Amino acid sequence: MSKNSQFVKFDKVDKSYDGKVLVVKDLNLDIAEGEFITMLGPSGSGKTTCLMMLAGFETPTNGEIYLDNNPISNIPPHKRGIGMVFQNYALFPHMTVYENLAFPLRVRKVSKDDIDKKVDKALSMVSLTGFENRMPGQLSGGQQQRVAVARALVFDPAVVLMDEPLGALDKNLRESMQYEIKHIHESIGVTVVYVTHDQGEALTMSNRIAVFNDGKVQQLSSPDKLYEEPVNSFVAEFIGENNRFAGQVTEITNNKCKVKLDSGSEIFANPIAVKSNGEKTIVSLRPERALINSKEKMENNFKGKIEEVIYHGDHTRVRLDLLGNKEFILKVPNSSANMEIKLGNQINVSWNSFDARALDPK
Amino acid sequence: MSRETQKILTTDGIPLEESLKKAEKKNKLKAFLLVCPLLLFLIITYVFPIGDMLFRSIDDRMVTNMLPKTYKAMENWDGKDLPDEEVFEAFYLDYKKLVEDKTFGKLATQLNYEKNGFKSILKKLKRKMKKFEEGNYKEQIMGVHKRWTNVEYWRALKRRAPAYSYSKYLKGVDMYENEDGKIVQVPEDRRVHKILWVRTVEVAFFVTVLCFLMAYPIAHLLATLPMKYSNLLMICVLLPFWTSLLVRTASWMILLQQQGIVNDFFVWIGLVSDENRPEMMYNKTGTYVAMTQILLPFMVLPLYSVMKTISPSLMRAGKSLGGTPFVAFWKVYFPLTIPGIGAGCLLVFILAIGYYITPALVGGASGTLISNQIAFHMKSTLDWSFASAMGLMLLTGVLAIYWVYNKLVGVDNIKLG
One-letter-per-residue 3-state SS of B288-340: HHHHHHHHHHHHHHHHHHHHHCCCHHHHHHHHHCCCCHHHHHHHHHHHHHHHH
Packed helices B85-101 and B104-114: angle between N→C axes, nearest 10 degrees: 130
Query: Nearest CA of chain A to the CA of B321: how many Å?
Result: 5
Q: Residues of B with CB below 8 A from A101's CB?
A: none
B327/A107 touch (CB, cutoff 8 Å), yes or no = yes
Q: For residue B248, give every residue at least 6 positions away whose Cβ sits within 8 Å of its Cβ, in sequence order, or none.
A: B240, B290, B293, B294
A348/A217 Cα distance (integer angstroms): 38
**What's the confidence (pLDDT) of residue A287?**
84
**Do residue B313 and residue A87 have CB atoms under 8 angstroms apart?**
yes
CA B406 to chain A, closest CA, distance in angstroms equals 18
Q: What is the rounded CA–CA span in Å between residue B320 and residue B133?
A: 101
Please enumerate in sequence order all residues whose Cβ is within 8 A of that of B113, keeping only pairs 6 or more positions apart, or say none. B383
CA distance B270 to B310: 46
pLDDT of residue B32: 92
pLDDT 10s digit of each residue in chain B, 417 long? Answer: 445 566 777 777 778 888 888 889 999 999 999 999 999 999 999 899 888 888 888 888 888 888 888 888 888 888 788 888 888 888 888 888 888 888 888 888 888 877 888 888 888 888 888 888 887 888 888 888 888 888 888 888 888 878 888 888 888 888 887 767 788 888 888 888 888 899 999 999 999 999 999 999 999 999 988 888 888 988 888 888 788 888 888 888 888 888 888 888 888 898 888 888 888 888 888 889 889 998 999 999 999 989 998 988 899 899 989 888 999 999 999 999 988 898 899 889 989 998 888 888 888 888 788 888 888 888 888 888 888 999 989 989 889 988 888 887 776 666 555
Indicate the burial class of A90 (C-beta count within 10 angstroms; 0-12, 13-18, 19 or more).
Answer: buried
Structural domains of chain A, with CATH: 8-233 (3.40.50.300), 241-359 (2.40.50.100)
**Distant-in-sequence, close-in-space partners of A325: CB < 8 Å, separation ≥ 6:** A243, A244, A245, A263
DSSP character for A245? Answer: E
Which residue in chain A is spatially nearest to B339 when comparing CA positions? A94
Taking each continuous run of H as one helix and of E as one strand, the counts in chain A are: 8, 20
| Packing angle, helices B85-101 and B118-129, rounded to 10 | 80
Query: Which of B16, A179, A56, A288 shows the shortest CA–CA distance to B6?
Result: B16
Q: Are A115 and A155 a contacting pair, CB within 8 Å?
A: no
pLDDT at A1: 45
With contact defined as beta carbons under 8 Å apart, do B315 and B329 qualify? yes
Q: What is the CA radius of gyration of chain A?
A: 24
**Helices in chain A by DSSP H: which ranges?**
47-55, 97-107, 112-125, 141-153, 171-188, 199-205, 223-228, 233-238
Residues of A in contact with B313 (CB under 8 A): 86-88, 90
Residue of A nearest to B317 (CA): A90
**CA–CA separation, A157 and A68 (whole Å):** 12
Q: Do B313 and A90 touch (CB under 8 A)?
A: yes
- Residue A184 Cα distances to A37, A118, B94, angstroms: 14, 15, 98
Angle at A148 between CA B329 and CA A9, to 5 degrees: 85
* Chain B residues with beta carbon closer than 8 angstroms to that of A76: 319, 325
Q: Enumerate long-range contacts of B167-176, CB under 8 Å, 24 or more apart.
A: B167/B60, B168/B57, B168/B58, B168/B385, B168/B386, B168/B388, B168/B389, B168/B390, B169/B57, B169/B389, B169/B393, B171/B386, B171/B389, B172/B386, B172/B389, B172/B390, B172/B393, B173/B197, B173/B393
Which H or E element spans position A351? strand A346-351
The answer to whether B88 and B137 have CB atoms below 8 angstroms apart is yes
* Interface touch B325/A57, C-beta < 8 Å: no
Distance between CA atoms of residues B406 and B404, nearest Å: 5
Neighbours of A22 (CB within 10 A): 18
Chain B residue at shortest CA distance from A95: B332
d(CA A40, CA A34): 19
Inter-chain CB proximity B320 and A55 less than 8 Å = yes
Residues in B closer than 8 angstroms to A81, CB to CB, are: 322
User: Which of A52, A78, A159 is the mutation pick for testing B, counting most B CBs within 10 A?
Assistant: A78
**Which of B314, B317, B322 is the closest to A107 by Cβ?**
B322
Residues recorded for chain B: 417
DSSP state of A347: E
Give kind and range of the element (H or E) at residue B197: helix B192-224
Q: Which CATH architecture has domain B192-413?
A: Orthogonal Bundle (1.10)
| Cross-chain Cβ contact A57/B321 below 8 Å | no
DSSP bridge pairs for A280: A248
- Find residue A282's DSSP bridge partners: A246, A359
Percent of chain B with pLDDT over 90: 17
What are the per-10-residue average pLDDT scores of chain A (362 residues)? 76 86 87 90 86 89 89 88 88 92 91 91 87 90 89 90 85 85 88 89 89 88 86 84 84 81 81 79 85 78 84 84 82 72 80 82 74
Q: Which residues of A208-231 are buried (b: 16+ CB within 10 A; e: fewer)?
A: bbbbbbebbbbbbbebeebbeebb
**b/e map B353-392, b = 16+ CB within 10 Å:** bbbbbbbbbbbbeebbbbbbbbbebbeeeebbbbbbbbbb
Chain A residues near residue B335 by CB distance under 8 angstroms: 94
Pair B351, B298: CB distance under 8 Å: yes
**Minimum distance, in Å, between the CA of residue B305 and any CA atom of chain A:** 17
On the CB side of A149, how many CA atoms lie within 13 Å of its CA?
29
CA distance A8 to A74: 15
CA distance B131 to A240: 120
Chain A positions with Cβ closer than 8 Å to B: 55-57, 76-84, 86-88, 90-94, 103-104, 107-108, 151-152, 155, 161
In B, minimum Cα distance to A157 occurs at B321
Report domain extents, chain B: 13-50, 61-163, 192-413
Distance of residue A90 Cα from the nearest chain B Cα, in angstroms:
5
Smallest CA-to-CA distance from A252 within A231, A273, A229, A228 is with A273
- What secondary structure does DSSP assign to B17-68, as a single string? HHHHHHHHHHHHHHHHHHHHHHHHHHIIIIIHHHHHHHHHHHB-HHHHHH-H
Closest partner CB to A107 (pick from B313, B316, B323) = B323
Q: Does B326 lie at the interface with A, CB-CB under 8 angstroms?
A: no
Q: In this complex, do B313 and A76 lie within 8 Å of one another by their Cβ atoms?
A: no
Instruction: Look at A55 and B335 and tell me if their CB atoms are within 8 Å.
Output: no
pTM of the model: 0.77
Compute the Cα dihedral for B347, B351, B353, B358 and give only its sign: negative
How many whole angstroms separate alpha carbon A85 and alpha carbon A172?
20
CA distance A86 to chain B (A): 7
Determine the Cα–Cα distance for residues A319 and A343; give it in Å rounded to an integer: 9
Per CB-CB distance under 8 Å, the chain B contacts of A104 are 321-323
> Do residue A84 and residue B331 have CB atoms under 8 angstroms apart?
no
Per-residue model confidence (pLDDT) at position B39? 93
**Chain A residue with the nearest C-alpha to that of B325:** A78
Q: Does the distance separating the beta carbons of A78 and B335 come in below 8 Å? A: no
Report the C-alpha gap between A120 and A133 in whole angstroms. 12
Secondary structure of B90-114 in HEC code, one letter for each residue? HHHHHHHHHHHHCCHHHHHHHHHHH
Residue B406: the pLDDT is 82
In this predicted complex, what is the ipTM?
Answer: 0.79
Q: What is the DSSP letter of A221?
A: E
CA distance B398 to chain A (A): 29
User: Would you call B317 an interface residue with chain A, using a CB distance cutoff of 8 Å?
Assistant: yes
B151/B111 Cα distance (integer angstroms):
15
SS3 assignment, position B157: helix
CA angle A320, A325, A326 (to 5 degrees): 50
- Please name every residue paired with B182 in a beta bridge, in sequence order, or none if there are none: none
Taking a C-beta distance cutoff of 8 angstroms, is the pair A269, A353 a contact? yes
- What letter does residue A76 receive in the DSSP assignment? -
Cβ distance of A107 and B320 shorter than 8 Å: no
**Continuous H helices in B115-163:** 118-129, 137-144, 151-159
- Chain B positions touching A103 (Cβ under 8 A) are 318, 321, 323, 331
What pLDDT is recorded for position A250? 83
